[in-house]
Amino acid sequence: MVKDPATTYNLYQTKKIDAAELSGTQAKNMLKSKDMHVLQDSRIFYLEFNQKTRPAFKNAELRKAFSYAIDRKSFVNNVLGDGSQPATGFVTSGLASNPKTGEDFAKEANQNNTGITYSPKKAKAAFKLALKQMNKKSLKLEVLAGDSTAAQHAAGYVQGQLEKVLPGLTLTVTNVPTKTLIQRQTHHQFDFFVSNWGADYSDPYTFLQILQSTNTFNEGGWSNAKYDRLVKASASTDANDQNKRWQDLVDAQRVMMQDQGVAPIYQATIPQVRNPKLKGLVYNSAGLQFNFKGMYLDK
């Protein structure tokens, strides 16, 4: 699935079937309504660091400092307010289960909350170490974002939160139209930005494959040989052994989270108000999301 450059999106909104998606303040105000349906989406939003053309982000301590500084719970509750959930890893919750034990992939692959913990103390320590390793006393960077209201809010939160937690860091937010955003991402003309990816199918591979060092969607350029081997094995030598394949994918996510290749922030939802008479609508969190075949209005 192609990345959506905006930080929120609407997949369907129509009066003909008496259902409409909401976002921002609308969703927050309607969360307790009996007609509200908060649908869990298999879409992850994350900080993508430019390690290809920005030397600073080759420093793992800097990437970890940024991740430690993000209060994911506060972000989804106070900024988004639409029922979105703090990220549990790069692969979304509820997507796939262990073929042997039934345990959710997101839970099994990140039992220690590696790479998603909010800790200002650890953030400051990692940032101080990063500056020392880079022989710098301060750092100025740009946050690239789209020009939608949601994108501006997300970038603004990231800017304020990181500058508050990390003394010596100065961030400038640059909001650009979608076309320009995609061009700059594709040509690695950014320091970091809030990226996102949605699952095409219910398997961890749909997420993990995009962070392989040769994948064009790995716009940040993170590269790890062990990670590449594990993801490749899951699709080749171990493809016919479901238990080995599963472990390959679990280990791959653990390698990436430990190195903070990217910093997952939150798992999106689709907040939707429906006419209570609307029946038979089937929702899937991955791939083709809505099946209208059996939908009808009850009398």
The two three-digit tokens of residue 240, written as one number: 């016919």
Domain locations in the chain as residue ranges: 13-297
Checking if the pLDDT of 278 tops 60, the result is no
pLDDT-derived band of residue 7, with 50, 70 and 90 as boundaries? very low
Q: What percent of the chain has pLDDT over 90?
A: 64
For the chain, give the longest Cα–Cα distance: 71
% of the chain beyond a pLDDT of 70: 77
Tell me 125's DSSP state. H
Average pLDDT over the chain, rounded to an integer: 84
- Residues, the chain: 299
CA angle in degrees (0–180, nearest 5) for 180-210-97: 130
Q: Which residues of 49-62 are buried (b: 16+ CB within 10 A; e: fewer)?
A: bbbeebebbbbbbb
Q: In which band, very low, low, confident or very high, does the pLDDT at 289 lie, cut at 50, 70 and 90?
A: low
Threshold 0.85, pTM exceeds: no
Which DSSP letter does residue 87 get? -
Alpha carbons 179 and 55: distance in angstroms, whole number: 26
Give the three-state DSSP class for 226. Answer: helix
Question: Which of 29-43, 76-90, 128-142 bottoms out in mean pLDDT, i.e. has the lowest?
Answer: 29-43
In whole angstroms, give the CA distance from residue 124 to residue 69: 8
Write down the residue that tokens 């089937």 correspond to. 282
On the CB side of 113, CA atoms within 13 Å amount to 10
pLDDT value of residue 262? 97
13-297 to CATH, choices 1.10.10.10, 1.10.274.10, 3.10.105.10, 3.40.50.300: 3.10.105.10
The C-alpha angle with vertex 259 and arms to 257 and 261, in degrees rounded to 5, equals 75
Quick: pLDDT tens for 121-145: 999 999 999 999 999 999 999 999 8
- Please, which pLDDT band fits residue 270 given cuts at 50, 70 and 90? low
Confidence of residue 153 (pLDDT cuts 50, 70, 90): confident
Is residue 94 within 8 Å of 100, Cβ to Cβ? no
